[in-house]
């Protein structure tokens, strides 16, 4: 047989959850030619993988790379941890549709990355991305935030009947172009202004096209159970496979709610509903700093939000304290750390809001307001509000996939800025090094399944996530005795250890631990 690569003597973990077996893997073109005892085979190149594990390329179930890949398609932070496919368009934010207010709201993100191209639709975006070339496979959801902003801007109101019909049309158009379902971000504008019935209506549309519904829920803290109930209601009313993004119980007073979350999800499963989730293996989250503001601050878009930060500080502060009474002291703000900011405030990166406020001789809330104004809202933050015990419980659930909740940054260039969350560089090696090898809370095959076969099933990725004859040759090779993350919150731009080879569509993008500069990634429509 004609073989491009023969991967010999490795321990194959095939992504199904089955036990590892010693086998050879033959790669021809973009596909796996065969798996088994291939001792008589001849290949253009043979690689001896004795002592190493061979598995499907990891699938990042929760990515935010739609813009950064236009700035730098190398995706080094993902490739070096073994990721070959990303699911983008999460939390209600996707590359398209981008009309009117939706495009205006994202202009600053595009400008920060020096992206000059503009587009409205997924086909237009895909055309631009294909010309750029990427190292990783790209799949996407259609963001509800994009859709709502495109038809109604950032208004805090229900959609009219005509607007609802237009939103449904935009969703159908997005899915016909290749989007795999609908995502919501219900703590972000404009999703925060939508009611459950609006989401159910759109979920119905996505279900007709065999799509999935993913959600950053309305609350992951004080109103966690109410948010879980909303997910169950949407799944029940629309019949759609629903998926909870980065499942967590945020804030120590809410940690014990997790058992009730599991009970609710088990009950839903007993009624025939399919609800899955994803999670990264860290106890800190990350999002925009303005997420601490009350929902009314976002009405009308970025310009209005900035105006309110200047003119309505008293009301903003009052409502922050109503929602977070503990924010009156410094302890709450010690747990919120600035991760990215502009050139004038680089000294703040890696420091807590409490520490910055002491240095600036301001209250923490004043510090937040001033920083958001100075940086035109472009401030990222890391929130240390989760429990390690809960994390272990979540990742052990059989419906939990692994998602980094991060963009595909590289170690230098336009995307190597700030002190982003280390999950963007170490999630998969951390799963295999810390939670499999060191702690033993998952078997090797269970962890690999959560990063391959399970997300491939959730997001309908045919021919991916499984290492078998005829499947696409997305392959990751690692040393189970050495794989580990090395990035941390002080120095996130560090490469993991133990990843030897990564193939994307049959092409090595990482060989002997080094990037090859190949760009074989595809848009998965």
pLDDT tens column, 290-319: 999 999 999 999 999 999 999 999 999 999
Q: Considering the chain, what percentage of its residues have pLDDT values greater than 90?
A: 97
Q: What is the pLDDT of residue 287?
A: 95
**Helix (H) or strand (E) segment spanning residue 69:** helix 68-71
Q: What is the pLDDT of residue 341?
A: 87
State the span(s) of the chain assigned CATH 3.20.20.140: 58-284+385-458
Decide: residue 286, CB within 10 A, 0-12 exposed, 13-18 middle, 19+ buried: buried
At residue 329 the predicted structure's pLDDT band, cuts being 50, 70 and 90, is confident
Question: How far apart are the two ends of the chain, measured CA to CA in Å?
Answer: 31
Structural contact between residues 387 and 395, judged by C-beta atoms closer than 8 angstroms: no
Q: What is the pLDDT of residue 138?
A: 99
Main-chain dihedrals φ then ψ at residue 474, nearest 5 degrees: -95, 110
pLDDT averaged over every residue in the chain: 97
At residue 25 the predicted structure's pLDDT band, cuts being 50, 70 and 90, is very high
Residue closest to 434 by CA, chosen among 486, 369, 377: 486
Note the pLDDT tens digit of each residue in 242-266. Answer: 999 999 999 999 999 999 999 999 9
- Cα(160)–Cα(151) distance, integer angstroms: 10
Residue position matching structure tokens 């406020």: 357
Average the pLDDT over 217-221 and give the result.
98
- Cα(511)–Cα(498) distance, integer angstroms: 12
Structural contact between residues 423 and 488, judged by C-beta atoms closer than 8 angstroms: no
Task: Give residue 35's region: left, alpha or beta (phi > 0; psi -120 to 50).
Answer: beta
Check whether the bond before 97 is cis (ω within 30° of 0).
yes
Residue position matching structure tokens 């993100």: 109
Note the pLDDT tens digit of each residue in 228-247. Answer: 999 999 999 999 999 999 99
At residue 451 the predicted structure's pLDDT band, cuts being 50, 70 and 90, is very high
At residue 50 the predicted structure's pLDDT band, cuts being 50, 70 and 90, is very high
Average the pLDDT over 353-358 and give the result.
96
Residue closest to 458 by CA, chosen among 254, 74, 183: 183
Q: Cα-Cα-Cα-Cα dihedral of 12, 14, 18, 21, to 10°?
A: -20
Structural contact between residues 139 and 459, judged by C-beta atoms closer than 8 angstroms: yes
Reply yes or no on whether the pLDDT at 227 is more than 60.
Answer: yes
Sheet with 380-383, strands from edge to edge, namely 285-288, 380-383, 336-340
Q: What is the pLDDT of residue 1?
A: 55
Average the pLDDT over 61-73 and give the result.
98
Average the pLDDT over 175-181 and give the result.
99
Q: What is the pLDDT of residue 343?
A: 87
Average the pLDDT over 418-422 and give the result.
96
CATH topology of domain 58-284+385-458: TIM Barrel (3.20.20)
Average the pLDDT over 327-353 and give the result.
92
Q: What is the pLDDT of residue 53?
A: 99
Q: What is the pLDDT of residue 2?
A: 79
Query: Quick one: DSSP state of residue 296?
Result: G
Task: Give residue 469's region: left, alpha or beta (phi > 0; psi -120 to 50).
Answer: beta
Q: What is the pLDDT of residue 100?
A: 96
Reply yes or no on whether the pLDDT at 68 is more than 60.
Answer: yes
Angle between helices 313-323 and 302-311 (to 10 degrees): 100
Average the pLDDT over 460-471 and give the result.
98
- Cα(320)–Cα(300) distance, integer angstroms: 19
């Amino acid at each position: 047989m004609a073989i491009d690569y023969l991967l010999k003597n490795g321990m194959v973990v095939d992504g199904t959850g089955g036990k590892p077996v010693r086998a050879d893997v033959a790669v021809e073109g973009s596909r796996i030619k065969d798996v088994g005892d291939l001792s008589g085979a001849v290949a253009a190149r043979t690689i001896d993988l004795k002592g190493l594990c061979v598995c499907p390329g990891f699938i990042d179930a929760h990515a935010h790379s739609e813009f950064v890949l236009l700035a730098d398609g190398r995706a080094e932070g993902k490739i070096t941890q073994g990721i070959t496919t990303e699911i983008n368009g999460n939390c209600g934010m996707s590359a398209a549709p981008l009309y009117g207010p939706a495009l205006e709201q994202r202009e600053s993100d595009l400008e920060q990355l020096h992206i000059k191209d503009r587009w409205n639709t997924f086909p237009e975006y895909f055309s631009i991305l294909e010309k750029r070339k990427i190292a990783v496979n790209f799949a996407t959801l259609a963001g509800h935030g994009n859709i709502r902003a495109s038809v109604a801007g950032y208004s805090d109101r229900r959609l009219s009947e005509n607007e609802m019909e237009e939103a449904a049309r935009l969703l159908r158009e997005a899915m016909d172009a290749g989007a795999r379902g609908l995502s919501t971000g219900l703590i972000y504008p404009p999703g925060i202004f939508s009611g459950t019935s609006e989401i159910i209506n759109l979920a119905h549309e996505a279900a007709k096209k065999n799509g999935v519904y993913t959600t950053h829920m309305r609350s992951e803290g004080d109103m966690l159970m109410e948010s879980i109930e909303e997910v169950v209601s949407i799944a029940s009313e629309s019949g759609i496979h629903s998926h909870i993004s980065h499942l967590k119980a945020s804030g120590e007073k809410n940690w014990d709610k997790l058992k009730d979350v599991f009970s609710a999800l088990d009950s839903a499963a007993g009624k025939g509903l399919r609800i899955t989730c994803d999670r990264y293996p860290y106890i800190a989250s990350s999002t925009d700093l303005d997420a601490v503001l009350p929902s009314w601050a976002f009405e009308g878009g970025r310009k209005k939000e900035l105006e309110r930060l200047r003119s309505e500080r008293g009301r903003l502060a009052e409502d922050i304290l109503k929602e977070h009474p503990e924010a009156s002291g410094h302890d709450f703000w010690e747990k919120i750390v600035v991760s990215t900011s502009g050139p004038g405030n680089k000294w703040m990166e890696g420091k807590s809001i409490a520490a910055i406020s002491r240095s600036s001789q301001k209250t923490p809330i004043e510090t937040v307001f001033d920083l958001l104004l100075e940086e035109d809202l472009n401030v990222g933050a890391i929130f240390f509000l989760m429990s390690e015990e809960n994390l272990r419980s979540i990742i052990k659930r059989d419906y939990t996939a692994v998602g980094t909740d991060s963009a595909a940054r590289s170690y230098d260039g336009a995307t190597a800025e700030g002190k982003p969350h280390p999950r963007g560089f170490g999630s998969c090696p951390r799963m295999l090094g810390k939670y499999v090898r060191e702690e033993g809370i998952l078997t090797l095959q269970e962890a690999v399944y959560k990063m391959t076969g399970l997300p491939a099933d959730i997001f309908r990725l045919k021919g991916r996530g499984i290492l078998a004859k005829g499947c696409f040759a997305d392959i990751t090779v690692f040393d189970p005795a050495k794989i580990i993350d090395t990035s941390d919150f002080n120095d996130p731009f560090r490469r993991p250890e133990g990843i030897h080879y990564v193939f994307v569509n049959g092409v090595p993008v990482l060989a002997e631990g080094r990037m090859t500069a190949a760009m074989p990634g595809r848009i998965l429509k």
